Amino acid sequence: MEILMAFVIGILFMCATYLMLSKSLLRIIVGTGLLSHGAHLLILTMGSLKRGAVPLLGENASSYTDPIPQALILTAIVISFGVTAFFLVLAYRAYQELGTDNMDKMRGNKGND
Amino acid sequence: MSLLHLAIISPFLLGILVPIMYKLLRRIHAGWFVLPLPIFLFIYFLSYIPITSNQQTVIKSIAWIPTLGIDFTVKVDGLGLLFALLITGIGSLVVLYSIYYLSKDKEQLNTFYVYLLLFMGAMLGVVLSDNLIVLYTFWELTSFSSFLLIGYWYDREKSRYGAQKSMLITVFGGLSMLGGIILLYLMTGTFSISEIIQQSNGILTNPLFIPAMLCILLGAFTKSAQFPFHIWLPDAMEAPTPVSAYLHSATMVKAGLYLVARMSPIFAENGLWVWLVAGFGIVTLFWGSFSAVKQTDLKGILAFSTVSQLGMIMSLLGIGGAALHFDSINDSYFSVATVAAVFHLINHATFKGSLFMVAGIVDHETGTRDIRKLGGLMHFMPITFTIAIIGTFSMAGLPPFNGFLSKEMFFTAMVRVLEIGFFNLETWGVLFPVIAWVASIFTFVYSMILVFKTFTGKFQPEKLAKKPHEAPIGMLISPIILACLVIIIGFFPNLLSNTIIAPAVAAIMPNFKVDVHISFWHGFTTELFMTLGVIVLGVLLYKTFPKWRKVYKLFPEKFSLNRLYNSILDVSQRASRTITNRYLTGFSRTYLLYLFAFFIIILSTTLFVKDAFIIKTNNVSSIHISEAILALVISIGAISIIFAKSRLTSIILLGAVGYTVSIFFVLFRAPDLALTQLAIETISVALFLLCFYHLPKLKKREERMRFRITNAVISVGVGAIVTMIALSAHSNKLFDSIAQYYVDNTYEKAAGKNMVNVILVDFRGFDTMFEITVLAIAALGIFGMIKLRLEGGKKNENQ
């Protein structure tokens, strides 16, 4: 499973990179979204998958999956959400002020027209 | 702190006081406040003569940075004292001269004297420091104050050009010298010159020895305007004439000579040192005297003449070093060159100082320094003419002035080069006396041009800005004193020999007993005939100068060193601008490409160089069919975002990927993650849609992403690298997780059953606190962006 996941993560990173290299600001933000999905899955995969029960002691299982990567991912999800939200509003404001979402046209004051 | 330290620091202290006194007492010329200090210092240093002439040295030290072995150690020996006397003595005369030369009303005298005092203190520091780092500090201070003085008339374009040029070249050399100092420290473990000299035998075979020598020599050559670094000196003539007289003839340009002399006991046992110093010196001597002849500006002639004389002293120091190379040969055989070098150092300071002052007087009284406009000034300025005659005849090496004596000794030394037996010098060495002789002829010619074109010939009043007349007596005092010295040393050279020259030579060559006796008459020797030849040919060439002037046209300006220097500056500026513009495109896409490309190159090289890429399957869990389908779904979802034509589709696909991720979290037994992911993905998609909704109408034209091959290659590379690293990292697990501790203690110690939550708020609660902070900042930032725009934005629009 880990090997399959490594390829899935690779594809996510690949698509994210391609989107981030595009001109449209919205696509770039979509790319960052994909990138954080890839990173979260990578953390989980590296902590080994499906070794035991859900990390709740009530399960009374003999082994549990590793709780540490899960805690790390939870933190990462929240932080990336905060950043994405900020970035989106920034993009929204940029549309309003500059009237474009083309990155090539956002070059100082001269390039606006 | 001893009196010696105070003597070095006193110019700096006075430099602080000068502007205050200048502002308080505007009616008195600021130079009068400065004048007593160099006179007093000169007398103070004279009191050391009895000590040094007994071959004694005075060493005083105060700690500066003791942990790094850097102490402000002052050492007075014959060589240091000679320079200190030159600096303070000529310094006094130059200050006196400048009082009459610079106008009290038109010039900013406070800055001038502050710079001059800064220079004087720095120069004293250079020649008296025993610690190499302290020496380097003062060395750079001389470069810096020289820069300030050359650019004194900063509203002139040429002054700024000259100042920048001299700064670039001397600081280049200075930095290289610092490198040499550090190499010396690495070999010997000390910065003290005296201690390094004691260890000099041990470092001869060290592999760092030659690099250290080359670095130090580069510093000395740039400072002393040796070929091909002499080009800054003629441009430094834009400085006021007292500065040219002081810095660019008598003191600063001799700092390089001082350094070579000081370092000779360390390096001269290697033949390369002798060869390099003498070789560069003799080339500089020839090129300087050859170029001086074609100059039409008085100070231009003097500048190239200085270059040439510095080369002569340098070559003498090199040949003197041969004495250290051959310990066995008769001691005084090559050391005559060192004696000649020291003697000529003094002579040059006297006559060149006076000649610069003469040039300044001519400029001051006629308004021009161009020899094509000057002529026939003899009758207007008889005293100046007399001084000029004495100075130039001494420079040309005519009896009975002091230049004659040093030139004779110079020829003696050059003839002896024939007997130095290394680096093929016994065959190539014949070039030395020949070049020296030819250069002396040119020296004779430009000396004659200098004096006779200015003071004799046809008087051309229509070309002069002012009506010429004799200079005020105050301006004449300094050159008269120097001219008197020229004659006194010429007639009684042995006044100096045991008091000043012998101790200085002893400092350059510590283990030799040198008998210094300068005699007027050698008998009918080779040297005498060489001098006669110089005079005869020189007169001939001077008379026919207009006919062979054309020779100089053979060397077009295109190939001059100045041209090279300018084009190096120009090309480096243009190249850096072109390169910068080439890669700093201003498109964020380009920068991302660099980042990703670098990421790929670095990581893949590391992976394959370290042979780290492996896949092990013994450690992996099984694949359920549902998981395989999910993996397929998420991959298809991600890939189709790229091909999505409309933005709405891509947002919905991103949402689909997010929800698939949360289903993965369910399958991989992470319920908290699944919950959070679901909630957050929903909000994110809503936000995306908000942005989408507000897209300007005009731009809503939907289009597919344009395909770019570089983007595709880079992104495939990034994906592949991430996959490979993930696989290798997973296959290379070196130790187990620390999870067991949390499993054991979640209930025991933290009273919770949900391990993830307990970790978040209990075991690793700090992370959570700052994650909350991140969210708070994001919320405030968003609020600020939306709220604060209204006022600011409208204001901008109204304008």
Q: Which residue in A56, A65, A104 has the most chain B C-beta atoms within 10 A of its own C-beta, making it the best mutation to test that interface?
A: A56
User: Does residue B366 carry a pLDDT above 90?
Assistant: no
Say whether B677 and A77 touch across the interface (CB within 8 A): yes
CA–CA separation, B507 vs B82, rounded Å? 11
Give me the pLDDT at residue B458, please: 79
Average pLDDT over residues B779-783: 92
Per CB-CB distance under 8 Å, the chain A contacts of B599 are: none
Q: What does the CA dihedral B399, B401, B407, B413 come to, rounded to 10 degrees?
A: 100
CA–CA separation, B296 vs B309, rounded Å? 19
Which one is predicted more confidently, B554 or B776? B776
Say whether B722 and A42 touch across the interface (CB within 8 A): yes
The residue in chain B having the minimum alpha-carbon distance to the alpha carbon of residue A64 is B743
Of B634, B676, B715, Cβ closest to residue A18: B715
Q: How many CB atoms lie within 10 A of CB B774?
A: 17
| DSSP string over B162-184 | HHHHHHHHHHHHHHHHHHHHHHH
Of B627, B696, B756, Cβ closest to residue A99: B696
DSSP B368: -
Query: What residues are paired with B608 via a beta bridge?
Result: none
| DSSP string over B683-732 | HHHHHHHHHHHTS-GGGG---PPPP-HHHHHHHHHHHHHHHHHHHHHHHT
Q: How many CB atoms lie within 10 A of CB B106?
A: 7
Q: pLDDT tens for residues B636-683?
A: 999 999 888 777 888 899 999 999 999 999 998 899 999 999 999 999
Of B586, B641, B778, Cβ closest to residue A15: B641
Say whether B785 and A96 touch across the interface (CB within 8 A): no
Smallest CA–CA distance, residue A90 to chain B, in Å, is: 7
CA–CA separation, B450 vs B443, rounded Å? 11
Q: Which residue in B603, B620, B699 has the most chain A C-beta atoms within 10 A of its own C-beta, making it the best mutation to test that interface?
A: B620
Q: Which residue in A7, A20, A21 has the most chain B C-beta atoms within 10 A of its own C-beta, making it the best mutation to test that interface?
A: A21
Q: pLDDT tens for residues B258-316?
A: 999 999 888 888 888 888 898 899 999 998 988 888 888 888 899 999 999 999 999 99
CA distances from B301 to B289, B295, B298, B314, B471 (A): 9, 5, 5, 20, 22
Q: pLDDT tens for residues B300-349?
A: 899 999 999 999 999 998 888 887 776 555 556 777 888 888 889 999 99
Say whether B688 and A30 touch across the interface (CB within 8 A): yes
Average pLDDT over residues A87-99: 81
CA distances from A37 to A73, B657, B713, B737 (A): 10, 8, 22, 23
User: Does residue B253 carry a pLDDT above 50?
Assistant: yes
Q: Predicted confidence band at A113 (pLDDT cuts at 50, 70, 90)?
A: very low
| Residues within 8 A of B (CB atoms), A 84-113 only | 84-86, 88-93, 95-97, 99-104, 107-108
H/E stretch holding B770: helix B765-798
Say whether A6 and B730 touch across the interface (CB within 8 A): yes
Pick from B661, B654, B671: which is nearest to B630 by CA?
Answer: B661
Average pLDDT over residues B104-133: 90
CA distances from B385 to B375, B454, B469, B472 (A): 12, 9, 12, 14
Angle between helices B671-693 and A67-98 (to 10 degrees): 10
Which one is predicted more confidently, B749 or A106? B749
Smallest CA–CA distance, residue A61 to chain B, in Å, is: 11
Q: pLDDT tens for residues B16-39?
A: 998 888 888 888 888 888 899 999
Tokens, residue B3: 């009196």
Of B587, B719, B754, Cβ closest to residue A11: B719
Helix-, strand-, coil-residue percentages of chain B, each rounded to 5: 75, 5, 20
Burial of B532 (0-12, 13-18, 19+ CB in 10 A): exposed
User: Does residue B422 carry a pLDDT above 70?
Assistant: no
Lowest average pLDDT, out of B149-163, B454-468, B595-609, goes to B454-468
The residue in chain B having the minimum alpha-carbon distance to the alpha carbon of residue A14 is B719
Share of chain B above pLDDT 90, in %: 33
Which one is predicted more confidently, B655 or B201? B655
Of A2, A85, A103, Cβ closest to residue B687: A85
Q: pLDDT tens for residues B473-516?
A: 888 888 999 999 889 888 888 888 878 888 888 888 776 666 66
Give me the pLDDT at residue B306, please: 92
Give me the pLDDT at residue A112, please: 42
Give me the pLDDT at residue B697, please: 54
Pick from B283, B139, B255, B265: which is nearest to B199 by CA?
Answer: B265
User: Does residue B543 carry a pLDDT above 70?
Assistant: yes
Say whether B657 and A37 touch across the interface (CB within 8 A): yes
Smallest CA–CA distance, residue B645 to chain A, in Å, is: 11
Residue with tokens 């589709």: B649
Say whether B716 and A66 touch across the interface (CB within 8 A): no
Give me the pLDDT at residue B791, please: 52
Give me the pLDDT at residue B759, please: 92
Of B423-437, B536-550, B746-760, the range with the highest mean pLDDT is B746-760
User: Does residue B557 carry a pLDDT above 90?
Assistant: no
Residue with tokens 């003629």: B234
Cβ contact B366:B464 at 8 Å: yes
Of B588, B669, B777, Cβ closest to residue A103: B588
A61 and B CB contact within 8 Å? no
Smallest CA–CA distance, residue A109 to chain B, in Å, is: 12
Q: Long-range pairs for B732-741 at CB < 8 Å and ≥24 separation? A: B732/B612, B732/B614, B733/B619, B737/A47, B737/A48, B737/A66, B737/A68, B738/A68, B739/A64, B739/A66, B739/A67, B739/A68
Per CB-CB distance under 8 Å, the chain A contacts of B783 are: none
Q: Model-level pTM? A: 0.82
Of A7, A11, A78, Cβ closest to residue B639: A11
Task: Go through B399-436 and write b for each residue having 16 or more CB atoms within 10 A of its CB, e for each that does not.
Answer: bebbbbbbbbbbbbbbbbbeebeeeebeeebeebbebb
Q: Which residue in A4, A8, A75, A84 has the most chain B C-beta atoms within 10 A of its own C-beta, making it the best mutation to test that interface?
A: A8
Cβ contact B323:B333 at 8 Å: yes
Burial of B764 (0-12, 13-18, 19+ CB in 10 A): middle
Establish, for the pair of chains A and B, how many residue pairs have beta carbons separated by less than 8 Å: 279
Smallest CA–CA distance, residue B711 to chain A, in Å, is: 6
Smallest CA–CA distance, residue A62 to chain B, in Å, is: 10
Say whether A15 and B715 touch across the interface (CB within 8 A): yes
Query: What residues are paired with B58 via a beta bridge?
Result: B76
Average pLDDT over residues A25-43: 91
Mean pLDDT, rounded, of chain B: 85
CA–CA separation, B264 vs B11, rounded Å? 29
Helix-, strand-, coil-residue percentages of chain A, each rounded to 5: 75, 5, 25
User: Does residue B394 carry a pLDDT above 80?
Assistant: yes
SS3 B523: coil
User: Does residue B794 carry a pLDDT above 90?
Assistant: no
Query: What residues are paired with B76 via a beta bridge?
Result: B58
User: Does residue A8 carry a pLDDT above 90?
Assistant: yes
Cβ contact B304:B288 at 8 Å: yes
Cβ contact B753:A56 at 8 Å: yes
Residues with Cβ within 8 Å of B20's Cβ and at least 6 positions away in sequence, in order, are: none
Say whether B589 and A23 touch across the interface (CB within 8 A): yes
SS3 B75: strand
Q: Which residue in A45, A81, A98, A104 has the most chain B C-beta atoms within 10 A of its own C-beta, making it the best mutation to test that interface?
A: A81
Average pLDDT over residues B380-404: 87
Strands B58-65 and B70-76 turn out to be antiparallel
User: Does residue B421 carry a pLDDT above 80?
Assistant: no
A68 and B CB contact within 8 Å? yes
Smallest CA–CA distance, residue B681 to chain A, in Å, is: 9
If phi > 0 it is left, if psi is from -120 to 50 it is alpha, else beta; for residue B611 that is: left
Smallest CA–CA distance, residue B620 to chain A, in Å, is: 6
Per CB-CB distance under 8 Å, the chain A contacts of B759 are: 67-68, 71
Q: pLDDT tens for residues B615-639?
A: 887 777 888 888 899 999 999 999 9
Per CB-CB distance under 8 Å, the chain B contacts of A3 are: 615, 617, 620, 727
Pick from B620, B770, B89: which is nearest to A3 by CA?
Answer: B620
CA–CA separation, B103 vs B242, rounded Å? 13
Say whether B746 and A57 touch across the interface (CB within 8 A): yes
